[in-house]
Amino acid sequence: MSSLESNSNQEKKIYDETQAVVGSAHADPETQAKVEQVYDPSQESIWTRLGLNFESYKRAPGSTRGQIVHGTAAPELVGQENPLLQQKMKPRHLQMIAVGGSIGTGLFVGSGSALASGGPAGVLIAWIIMGVMLINVTQALGEMAILYPVSGGFYTLASRMLDPSFAFAMGWNYVFQWAVVLPLEITVAGTTVQYWTDQVPLAAWITLFFVVIIIASMFGTLGYAEEEFWSSCLKLLVVVMFIFIGIICICGGGPSGGEYDQYVGGRYWQDPGALANGFKGVCSVFVTAAFSFAGTELVGLAATETPDPRKTMPSAVKNTFWRITLIYITSLTIIGLAIPFNDPDLFDGSGADISPFVIVIDRAGIRGLNHLINVTICISVLSIGLSCVYAGSRTLTALAETGYAPKMFTYIDKAGRPLASVCAILIFAPLAYINVADVGSAVFDWLVALSGLSTLFTWLAICVTHIRFRKAWKVQGHSVEELPFTALGGVWGSWLGAGLIVLVLIAQFYIAVWPVGGSEGGTAAAEAFFISYLAAPVLILFWVIGYAWKRTLPRKAMDIDLDTGRKSWYTVEEMRQVRMAPRRWIRC
């Protein structure tokens, strides 16, 4: 029997409870006790597994040990860092989370204000730069998440590879980012529905959508994964339809009597022009582009709830390239060709009224399709809202597991839901009612400012963590060939990604001090600056609190733990055999 076949057999047996106990016989008593705490959800009723009865809310007695270990691992390491979260996600879920999970208001609605601020060329420049950066971020994240599919994903890895105090700051910043975005998305969903009627009060729509998100959250990981799969299918269908219709309209093939029944081509790039506000306009678009890509890193969190990330994650990570090129760049190019940046419809109204997707379809005179796009925007907003609950709760649970949040947030029930963490994030949803008050918009602006740059800081941390991981991997005598998945650009790709993020942060600082259209000066200027850059001092404050609390410093590369939670133990020779083996179809 070849070594590869032997390892394959071991992968099938490694999580058998009896085998785990026997394999840990020579480990210390504490480790042995930990290994023996295995929970098998398949022994529960279907109602418990789906989270639809009272039994499902009881604490899970232990890890399901549902992740496959590839290669020969030391017995004392097999039972370590097995997340209590259950591995319910299938390959199709991961693919759609990667391809369409983060498509939402940033593209469907935010691209309109970006076009008005930066012009068609400014929009493309900003999105391409952010796209190149994001490809490197997802590649770096994929390399680490496939090797270490640990609870908390990039937060846990940052704590291990960088500095626990910095990870504390990044983790809480990430939790508050999603906690604040949740009421924002619920509010946007309410204003989107007002495209059809304004007879129903906004508060009523907020209540309805809040209840919908609570119900979806009851189904845990599987509810989130299935919702993401089907909503992403709808979003991709609508965007692809829009791309084909947009190309036909720009070429003059639109319905007779509509605005696009004659050739448009690059007319609006000539008049009013390609750039709306010059260099400032381009800089002002970066944050909108970052917001539209926010959530792409959720693939790294989802690796924890996947049985075999080594087989399912690589294709999901690689699909990010197609989402950026096909979905974002192509659709934004069409929008820039079909609508001038000084079009009054980009400034008048809110929600779907200023969506360039809806504007193009309305002007083309294609009946009914504008309603489909609006329905898609509404579903996309709710999808992002559910992602807020998923991302925020998983990170909060990881913070508690590492001692940086109250222990109550480590509670995970028999359905695999981090129950206390989910409730903690949902508590923020009623903040959406602030928008109903007269001063609501001003208060909400400050709340949203907390999440303004959080995504950029998270991506920067992922790049730096990867750079540090590669350094430790090399110093401790490992070869890159041992890695089950390697980032496309390697460590240089992470340096490029980190450099681009720093440039974007500098550009945002420039815009915060000298905004487009000039500054009003005095209190108004200070308020505008902090609304744009509030996330930076908040992150620094968390970092100081984390250091004062735990008094930790960055570890040396030689001292970084590269074994705990590792799920691929192939040697260089075994990895070469794996890569030479014929590819098999992965069943969904």
Whether the pLDDT of residue 305 is over 80: the answer is yes
Whether the pLDDT of residue 76 is over 60: the answer is no
- pLDDT tens digit sequence for 134-158: 899 999 999 998 988 888 888 888 8
Confidence of residue 77 (pLDDT cuts 50, 70, 90): low
pTM, 2 dp? 0.87
DSSP result, 417-452: --HHHHHHHHTTGGGGGGGGSTTHHHHHHHHHHTTT
User: SS3 for 269?
Assistant: helix
Q: Are 126 and 289 in contact (CB under 8 A)?
A: yes
Separation between Cα atoms, residue 22 and residue 36, nearest integer Å: 10
Whether the pLDDT of residue 530 is over 70: the answer is yes
As given in the structure block, the two tokens for residue 299 are 């693939």
Average pLDDT over residues 45-58: 84
Confidence of residue 8 (pLDDT cuts 50, 70, 90): very low
Selected residue with higher pLDDT from 377 and 7 = 377
Q: Is the peptide bond before 272 cis (omega within 30 degrees of 0)?
A: yes
- pLDDT tens digit sequence for 382-417: 888 899 999 999 999 989 988 889 999 999 988 888
Whether the pLDDT of residue 290 is over 50: the answer is yes
Separation between Cα atoms, residue 575 and residue 3, nearest integer Å: 11
pLDDT on residue 124: 93
Whether the pLDDT of residue 62 is over 70: the answer is yes
Residue 117 half-sphere exposure toward CB, CA atoms < 13 A: 22
Confidence of residue 49 (pLDDT cuts 50, 70, 90): confident
Confidence of residue 34 (pLDDT cuts 50, 70, 90): very low
pLDDT on residue 320: 78
Average pLDDT over residues 19-48: 56
**Amino acid present at 431:** L
Separation between Cα atoms, residue 114 and residue 404, nearest integer Å: 38
As given in the structure block, the two tokens for residue 406 are 């109250």
Confidence of residue 442 (pLDDT cuts 50, 70, 90): low
**Amino acid present at 389:** V
Whether the pLDDT of residue 6 is over 60: the answer is no
Q: Are 71 and 569 in contact (CB under 8 A)?
A: yes
- pLDDT tens digit sequence for 159-204: 888 888 888 988 998 998 899 889 988 888 888 888 788 888 888 9
- pLDDT tens digit sequence for 11-20: 443 334 333 3
Average pLDDT over residues 498-526: 80
Selected residue with higher pLDDT from 531 and 51 = 51
Separation between Cα atoms, residue 542 and residue 549, nearest integer Å: 10
Rounded to 5 degrees, φ, ψ at 343 are -65, 125
Separation between Cα atoms, residue 206 and residue 190, nearest integer Å: 6
> Among 330-344, 442-456, 488-502, whose mean pLDDT is lowest?
442-456
Mean pLDDT of the chain: 81
> Among 1-15, 36-50, 501-515, 546-560, whose mean pLDDT is lowest?
1-15
Q: How far is CA 243 from the centre of its chain?
A: 24
Average pLDDT over residues 69-91: 68
As given in the structure block, the two tokens for residue 451 are 């999440």
Whether the pLDDT of residue 531 is over 60: the answer is yes
> Among 18-32, 146-160, 193-207, 555-569, whose mean pLDDT is lowest?
18-32
> Among 202-211, 235-244, 286-295, 502-511, whose mean pLDDT is lowest?
286-295
pLDDT on residue 29: 40
Q: How far is CA 4 from the centre of its chain?
A: 35
Please give the share of the chain, as a percent, with pLDDT higher than 90.
20
Confidence of residue 464 (pLDDT cuts 50, 70, 90): very high
Selected residue with higher pLDDT from 153 and 520 = 153
Confidence of residue 36 (pLDDT cuts 50, 70, 90): very low
pLDDT on residue 583: 53
Residues facing residue 71 across a β-bridge: 569
Q: How long, in residues, is the chain? A: 588
At how many degrees (to 10) do helices 202-218 and 220-250 cross? 130
Selected residue with higher pLDDT from 562 and 10 = 562
As given in the structure block, the two tokens for residue 181 are 């975005």
Whether the pLDDT of residue 448 is over 90: the answer is no
Q: Are 460 and 538 in contact (CB under 8 A)?
A: no
Separation between Cα atoms, residue 460 and residue 516, nearest integer Å: 26
User: SS3 for 568?
Assistant: strand
Average pLDDT over residues 46-50: 83
Best-predicted range by mean pLDDT (110-114, 354-358, 406-410, 568-572): 406-410
Average pLDDT over residues 236-246: 91
Q: How far is CA 552 from the centre of its chain?
A: 28
pLDDT on residue 337: 93
Of 460, 97, 109, the closest CA to residue 309 belongs to: 97
Q: How many CB atoms lie within 10 A of CB 372?
A: 16
Q: Are 504 and 290 in contact (CB under 8 A)?
A: yes
> Among 184-193, 272-281, 522-531, whose mean pLDDT is lowest?
522-531
Q: How far is CA 398 from the centre of its chain?
A: 16
Whether the pLDDT of residue 440 is over 70: the answer is no
Q: Are 468 and 460 in contact (CB under 8 A)?
A: no
Encode burial over 484-517: b for 16+ CB neighbours within 10 A, e otherwise: bbbbebbbebbbbbbebbeebbebbbebbeebbe
pLDDT on residue 97: 82
Selected residue with higher pLDDT from 536 and 587 = 536
Cβ neighbors of 67 (< 8 A, separation 6 or more) are: 15, 82, 83, 87, 149, 306, 307, 308, 309, 567
Average pLDDT over residues 309-316: 84
